[in-house]
Amino acid sequence: MEFLQDAPRLPHPFHQDRLLQALIERRVPAERRAALVADLTALGDYACMAYARRLDSTPGEPVLTQWGPWGERIDRIELTPAWREGPVQTTRHAVLAAGHDPEAGPHGRLEQFMRVYLYHLASEFYTCPLAMTDGAATAIKASGNERLAARALPHFLSRDADAFWLSGQWMTETAGGSDVGRTGTVARRDDDGQWRLYGRKWFTSAVVGEAALALARPEGADQGTDALALFYVETKHADGRWRELRIDRLKDKLGTRELPTAEIHLEGLPAEPVGALDHGVRLIAPMLNVTRTWNAVCATATMARCLALANDYARRRQAFGRPLIEQPLHARTLADMQAEFEAAFALTFHVAELLGQVEASAASPGQAKLLRLLTPLAKLWTGKLSVAIASETLECFGGAGYIEDTGLPQLLRDAQVYAIWEGTTNVLSLDTLRALASTGLEPLTQAIEDWLGHDDAQTEARNTVRDALARAMDFIARHDGDPTRLQAGARGLAITLARAAAAALLAASARDARTRDDARPAAALRGFLAHGIDRLVDDDLDPHALLD
């Protein structure tokens, strides 16, 4: 009989995830685990169902119908099944609400992001508008606008699907993607004193949402970032019709194709200022930092999925008389990917935990600074790493990794978005410089020393990480006051700092695991160190010597 290759099977994403299990054991108080584990088990079950459904059916995409049968403008968007299930899954398993649960105190964010990690791929990137809804809730809370909080938060954080609302984050315009200061949307006050927004938003990922936070320039205000104001809008009438906005088209994207990203025109959409009528970017910054954390968690979830499938397949696929897992070079390739993934997991979930501690006022001022610094680092590094791991994963399947109906190419296409969403790698590298200017490096170097510990088993880790940090400090000191040089090297600096923090966190988990006779975290640390920490590039190279 003709040979037929066994397809890879997806192991249960919660039951088979030893990193997640160990994290719960280490960081979640025993009395909080039962409710968490029930949700994680259910989300893992849902992920298995969604994986099978995706392979058994033709992938769906949202469809925009702009006109009704009698010529009326309707802008109806039909969603994929996973998107239609989104409100129920989100509210039933507290994917959003857990992060804002006062009873959870400093643990809420960690527990929330464990749920996000398991839900993300099964949700078909419904997590994108969830991230923005979470960010909107956070920014509204931080603004101190109690009226808006009373209006929107019960919907955004609801545990009831019927009451649940999604919020968008409307920033990007044709002129202002990274450079949001070029925003052209105008806020005008009508004769009744009602603010209304007029303009075009070019990437609105949660266009199906009921609300949004939008940046706009109050009529007559100056140019630039500082003159922008942040507004809260609601998008639909009570009967479900759109208010004063028009959906021009859905984007034809490389990946995340289930996600209905739209171009829209605002045609006098009623809006309410979130705070003062300037410094809107300052007001939306808490949202950016939360969505960047989601981005890192979701990028890490993609890595976990890639490794789960590649590992399973390595045990099913034979080549040259042995399963792939017994081929030395293939095993080493998987181990190299695993080491990088474990480091990314450690950094990402540390940021999630720190966010919860800072929000619950359970953190020191130094930890708050550490969070400001680690957030862009985790986002930018995991964004890039997920693309590299997804690409390597496809290669682990040979030709099958390049074939659409295996579902594998989608992993790579979708991963590419993490490095672009919520600020590109370069924007986040420059944000690292912005953060360093206000926090300095000390909160990070201090934390890294604490994580590295003092025991003899980790001398190599200490030396490698300290050498990389010394290079980073030298780079900053040499170019202090020279923004051209500092910015040109910012990506190398940021990735070096991210890898140093991740290595130190791995050292802490390896130390902890030794007490349980678990040698795997130490092996991950060793593998990660072997890839080097320092990514600073030759900062004397003038890029224009090559480009002109």
| Placement of tokens 């925009």 in the chain | 64
Residue 371: CB minimum distance to ligand MFK, A: 10
Please say which residue, 421 or 475, places its beta carbon nearer to ligand MFK: 421
Q: Which of 205, 235, 496, 509 binds ligand MFK (CB under 6 A)?
A: 205
Residue 172: CB minimum distance to ligand MFK, A: 5
427 is an interface residue for ligand MFK by CB under 6 A: yes
Residue 401: CB minimum distance to ligand MFK, A: 23
Residues 25-64 that bind ligand MFK (CB under 6 A): none
Please say which residue, 9 or 251, places its beta carbon nearer to ligand MFK: 251
CB 366 within 8 A of CB 109: no
Binding mask 105-144 for ligand MFK (x = CB under 6 A): --------------------x-xx--xx------------
User: How far from the centroid of its chain's Cα atoms is residue 505's Cα?
Assistant: 19
171 is an interface residue for ligand MFK by CB under 6 A: yes
Residue 119: CB minimum distance to ligand MFK, A: 10
**How long a stretch of residues is the chain?**
548
Residue 117: CB minimum distance to ligand MFK, A: 11
Residue 270 burial (10 A CB sphere; 0-12, 13-18, 19+): middle
The values of phi and psi at residue 200, to 5°, are -125, 125
Which residues lie closer than 8 Å to 162 by C-beta, 6 or more apart?
A: none
Residue 155: CB minimum distance to ligand MFK, A: 19
How much of the chain is in helix, strand and coil states, percent to nearest 5? 60, 10, 30
Please say which residue, 281 or 501, places its beta carbon nearer to ligand MFK: 281
Residue 511: CB minimum distance to ligand MFK, A: 32
Binding mask 269-308 for ligand MFK (x = CB under 6 A): ----------x-xx--x--xx-x--xx--x----------
Please say which residue, 251 or 466, places its beta carbon nearer to ligand MFK: 251
Residues 355-414 that bind ligand MFK (CB under 6 A): none
Please say which residue, 94 or 436, places its beta carbon nearer to ligand MFK: 436
CB 233 within 8 A of CB 205: no
> Of 297, 244, 356, 241, which is closest to residue 121 (Cα–Cα)?
297
Please say which residue, 291 or 311, places its beta carbon nearer to ligand MFK: 291
Give the C-alpha separation, 340 to 386, whole Å: 10
Give the C-alpha separation, 172 to 110, whole Å: 29
Please say which residue, 201 or 317, places its beta carbon nearer to ligand MFK: 201
Q: Helix or strand or coil: residue 96?
A: coil
- Provide the token pair at 167: 């919020």
Give the C-alpha separation, 378 to 351, whole Å: 8
Give the C-alpha separation, 373 to 298, whole Å: 19
CA Rg value for the chain: 24
CB 520 within 8 A of CB 454: no
User: Measuring CA to CA, how many Å separate 221 from each of 177, 202, 268?
Assistant: 20, 22, 18
DSSP state of 455: -
Please say which residue, 207 or 396, places its beta carbon nearer to ligand MFK: 207
Number of chain residues interacting with ligand MFK (CB under 6 A):
30
Residue 215: CB minimum distance to ligand MFK, A: 9
DSSP state of 538: -
251 is an interface residue for ligand MFK by CB under 6 A: no
Dmax over CA atoms of the chain, in Å, equals 80
Residue 287: CB minimum distance to ligand MFK, A: 10
Residue 139: CB minimum distance to ligand MFK, A: 11
Give the C-alpha separation, 126 to 131, whole Å: 9
Give the C-alpha separation, 215 to 60, whole Å: 32
Residues 442-471 that bind ligand MFK (CB under 6 A): none
Residue 181: CB minimum distance to ligand MFK, A: 4
Residue 298: CB minimum distance to ligand MFK, A: 4
Please say which residue, 33 or 141, places its beta carbon nearer to ligand MFK: 141
Please say which residue, 288 or 343, places its beta carbon nearer to ligand MFK: 288
CB 468 within 8 A of CB 501: no
Q: Which of 401, 423, 443, 527 binds ligand MFK (CB under 6 A)?
A: 423
**Where are the strands (E) in 138-185, listed by range?**
167-170
Q: Tell me which residues touch ligand MFK (CB under 6 A).
A: 125, 127-128, 131-132, 169, 171-172, 178, 180-181, 203, 205, 225, 279, 281-282, 285, 288-289, 291, 294-295, 298, 421-423, 427, 431, 434
